[in-house]
Amino acid sequence: MLAVRRAGAALLLAAAMLAVPALAGTLTSASGAGGGGGGLCTVDLYGQWITVQCTNSGGGGGGGGGGPASTVNLGCTLTPISQATAVELGLQWPPPKGFSWAFMDCVGGRVGAGGALAVLVNTATGAPQVTPQQLLQQALSELQIPTLRPHTAPPRGKDGLVGLPEWFWVPAGQWHPLSVTVTAGPVWATATASPAGLSFQPGGGLGPVTCTGPGTAYDPARPATAQHSDCAFTYQQPSVGQPGNAYQASIAVTWNVSWTGSGGVGGEIDAGLVVPFQFAIPVAQGEALVNSP
């Protein structure tokens, strides 16, 4: 299991459980809440309104598809509500014809303010009256973006050398999508985060290096002249005089966050969620004769 964290101030990380009861006020849409048409869906996340695309993606299918993604599946349970409890809660009794009341409780966190959400359930199909966009909020709250720690050559903790390329890369086994699917009866929503790009900030006011993909792993068993990486940076000055006598460098992984849901809905949420990792690189004066990191 990758070490994970909730990523700070980005849209993804503002997501939390539904903050209003009984489906009221959680979603507005230019084309109708929960429908398969185009338009923008606006979601209330603890008083912060965000907008997600809810365009028709051309099909239903399962909860998020296969592929190499690391997936988490959360199922919402439905517990029938008795007449006495419904009356106590101020719910309509009897419920509309063909429906019953139930509490919907989603694994990993309750959907609804202060407890499970009271929803109407179709007695013929067992489907709760909940939209994919509402389940998306729960999926986003459970989707955790990892801080990917780079490998470098020379390795972190070892001095780099002036004139010698500093390689950096993320292990290929960590470079894959992550997804969370929340299901309530036949209604589902999947939030997916996919790593898209890697950049290196060398520190010291120097310009960044950007590359696509996770970078290339350096192979110490091969001659340096036989290897190449676009994810490398060559320091021209030693780090003496820098804070801590080291360049305060960082890598940043850019993630694309999207979603899909039952009924063919889905779209892009965040095309540029950046998660950084900072580290120090001491650089010593070296000679051009050095031929391997």
For 186-241, the pLDDT digits (tens) are 889 999 999 999 999 999 999 999 988 899 999 989 988 888 888 999 999 999 99
Mean pLDDT over residues 34-57, rounded? Answer: 38
Percent of the chain residues topping a pLDDT of 70: 70
Q: Does 136 score more than 50 pLDDT?
A: yes
Please report the pLDDT score of residue 135 as a whole number. Answer: 87
CB count in 10 Å sphere of residue 97: 6
Average pLDDT, the chain: 73
Mean pLDDT over residues 86-113, rounded? Answer: 78
- How far apart, in whole angstroms, are the C-alpha atoms of residue 133 and residue 190? 10
**Per-residue exposure over 192-220, b if at least 16 CB sit within 10 Å of its own CB, e if not:** bbbbebbbbbbbbeeeebebeebbbebee
| Residue 132 covered by a domain | yes
| Residue 292 covered by a domain | no
| Residue 290 covered by a domain | no
Mean pLDDT over residues 89-114, rounded? Answer: 75
Read off the pLDDT band of 144 (50, 70, 90).
confident
| Residue 74 covered by a domain | yes
| Residue 291 covered by a domain | no
Please report the pLDDT score of residue 115 as a whole number. Answer: 52
State if pTM tops 0.75. Answer: no
Strands 160-161 and 283-284: parallel
| Residue 213 covered by a domain | yes
Mean pLDDT over residues 75-97, rounded? Answer: 89
Distance of CA 126 to the CA centre of its chain: 30
Q: Does 3 score more than 80 pLDDT?
A: no
Please report the pLDDT score of residue 168 as a whole number. Answer: 93
Please report the pLDDT score of residue 116 as a whole number. Answer: 66
Range of the domain at 237: 4-284
- How far apart, in whole angstroms, are the C-alpha atoms of residue 292 and residue 227? 10
- How far apart, in whole angstroms, are the C-alpha atoms of residue 197 and residue 177? 13
More reliable by pLDDT, 99 or 2 = 99
Q: Give me the number of domains the chain comprises.
A: 1
Please report the pLDDT score of residue 286 as a whole number. Answer: 64
Cα 64-59-186 angle, rounded to 5 deg = 60
Q: Phi and psi (nearest 5°) for 138?
A: -70, -40
| Residue 289 covered by a domain | no
Q: Does 23 score more than 90 pLDDT?
A: no
More reliable by pLDDT, 3 or 247 = 247
| Residue 157 covered by a domain | yes
